[in-house]
Amino acid sequence: MTNAQQSNYQKAISRLHQIQLGLSQSETTPQHQAASRRPNRMKLLYPTSLKLNTKSLEGFGVDLVAYDVKKTLPEDAIDAECLVTWCNSSDNLKDAAGRMKKLRWIQSLAAGPNDVLNAGFSASEITICTGSGLHDHTVAEHALGLLLNSARRFFEMRDYQLQGKWPGHLGGPQPDRPAGKFTTLRDARVLIWGFGNIGKTLAPWLTALGAQVRGVARHAGVRDGVEVYGEDKLPELLPETDALVMILPGSEATKHVLNAERLKQLPNHAWIVNVGRGTSVDDEALLSALEKEEIGGAALDVFTTEPLPENSPYWKQKNVVVSPHAAGGRERKFWSQRTYVAFQPDKA
């Protein structure tokens, strides 16, 4: 483990022990002791959506119980104190929020807590941790792929291929970095809005390909050599952007932050890549900008409604790449070295 992971691991272990201590102190009545599973042990529910070698977790004072993330919890599982979530259905989480009265701790393996909070779990009563940092590489890689797809127009080549046609206008001699077009990452001005861990992973890859990278976040400063600006600077930054990469979390504060006003501030050749949350984009405004060719295009991995409805205008919209929320969601070795508790508590 890295130093940061080791630090997070120790913090999480400390929190786990605190919960255990609190339970042992509160479960002192004869009736409770008689009904308990084993003295001073917690029950932890882990999802069947994740491959888990339970032998690697031996040594903790925890009873591990597997559960199906697509079904309601059985009666003998609702008394658990700890819940690990990964790819749970909304119905499953809502059911758990209403029935798990002894729950003390939730470990979501998703990058953000949105699905857990939306289900009705209270962050004031339950410690909620996220998988922040687990998906940095895979999401950054996907964002890079969408940027290259947009610049080199692989999506259009594929369209011609399916028609059995040769897209001659995309091959042969081409101008090098033409002004007013997004055709390469070399010298491209890339703005990462929501410059956190994923942005810090993506930035050096873009720089290696010759891009000029800047970031936007709640707090300005220099992060890993990248100049990061506050959101108040967006009116100055957007007109100087060839590709806008959005990695914003889903919340009321970020809802529709990419609106008609900000879309108009982008050059008409600029592309938008969204690997954050679909709710951060005003769909009506984006579709209007695309139809009027006020922006170059959009490569979208996340949407307000998922799966994307069959009648969504995005499917047939020119210069739109639809990605089925595929940037994250790739199972990593979450549980190696007992790191199932080694995640940062959510600070939102």
> Does 316 have pLDDT greater than 60?
yes
Task: Find the CATH number of the domain harbouring 95.
Answer: 3.40.50
Instruction: Work out the mean pLDDT of the chain and round it to a whole number.
Output: 87
Q: Verify that 173 and 236 share a domain, yes or no.
A: yes
With residue 200 as reference, give the H or E element that holds it.
helix 197-208
Summarised one tens digit per residue, pLDDT across range 196-250 is 999 999 999 999 999 999 999 999 999 999 999 999 999 999 999 999 999 999 9
Q: Is residue 210 part of a domain?
A: yes
DSSP single-letter state for residue 112: S
Give the range among 63-67, 160-164, 281-285, 299-303 with minimum mean pLDDT.
63-67
Establish if 68 belongs to a structural domain.
yes
**Could you tell me whether strands 243-246 and 212-216 are parallel, antiparallel, or unpaired per DSSP bridges?**
unpaired
- The CA dihedral of 140, 141, 144, 145, to the nearest 10 degrees, is -140
Least confident of 34-43, 161-170, 308-317: 34-43
Q: By residue range, what is the domain housing residue 218?
A: 136-322
The strand pair at 297-300 and 243-246 is best described as: unpaired
Alpha-carbon distance 245 to 258, whole Å?
11
Q: Contact 310/280 with Cβ under 8 angstroms?
A: no
For the chain, percent of residues with pLDDT exceeding 90: 74
Same domain, 163 and 64: no
Residues with Cβ < 8 Å from 31, sequence gap 6 or more? none
CA–CA dist 315, 256 (Å, integer): 20
Span 97-114, pLDDT tens digits: 999 999 999 999 998 898
Task: Say if residue 101 is in the same domain as residue 223.
Answer: no
> Does the structure show a pLDDT above 80 at 10?
no
- pLDDT of 336: 42
| pLDDT for the residue 342 | 38
Share of the chain above pLDDT 70, in %: 83
User: Which structure tokens are listed for 102?
Assistant: 């002894």
pLDDT for the residue numbered 14: 54
Q: Are 296 and 322 in contact (CB under 8 A)?
A: no
pTM above threshold 0.95: no
Using the predicted structure, report yes or no on whether residue 141 has a pLDDT greater than 90: yes
Distance of alpha carbon 137 from the chain centroid: 11
- Confidence (pLDDT) at 27: 37
Residue 35 has pLDDT above 80, yes or no: no
Question: 152 and 112 share a domain?
Answer: no
Residues carrying an active site annotation: 277, 325
Instruction: Please give the C-alpha separations between residue 299 and each of 134, 263, 282, in angstroms, as whole numbers.
Output: 23, 15, 15
Query: How far apart are alpha carbons 318 and 298 in whole angstroms?
Result: 9
Verify that 265 and 169 share a domain, yes or no.
Answer: yes
| Residue in the structure block whose two tokens are 């909070």 | 117
> Does some domain include residue 347?
no
CATH of the domain at 295: 3.40.50.720
Q: How many other C-beta atoms can be found within 10 angstroms of the C-beta atom of residue 326?
A: 15
Q: Are residues 33 and 74 located together in one domain of the fold?
A: yes
- Verify that 162 and 65 share a domain, yes or no: no
Q: DSSP of 48-73, one letter per residue?
A: TTS---GGGGBTBSEEEEEE-TTSPP
- Same domain for 163 and 308, yes or no, is yes
Statement to judge: residues 240 and 296 lie in one domain: yes
Going by C-beta distance under 8 Å and a sequence separation of 6 or more, which residues neighbour residue 66?
A: 45, 46, 47, 48, 52
What number of H helices and E strands is found in the chain?
A: 10, 13
Q: Same structural domain for residues 85 and 224?
A: no
Would 11 be classed as within a structural domain?
Answer: yes
Average pLDDT over residues 322-343: 64
Domain check: are 20 and 163 in the same one?
no
Q: What is the mean pLDDT of residues 169-193?
A: 96
Which pLDDT score is estimated for 309? 98
pLDDT at 85 over 90: yes
Distance CA 78, CA 83 (A): 10
Strand-pairing partners, residue 274, are: 246, 300
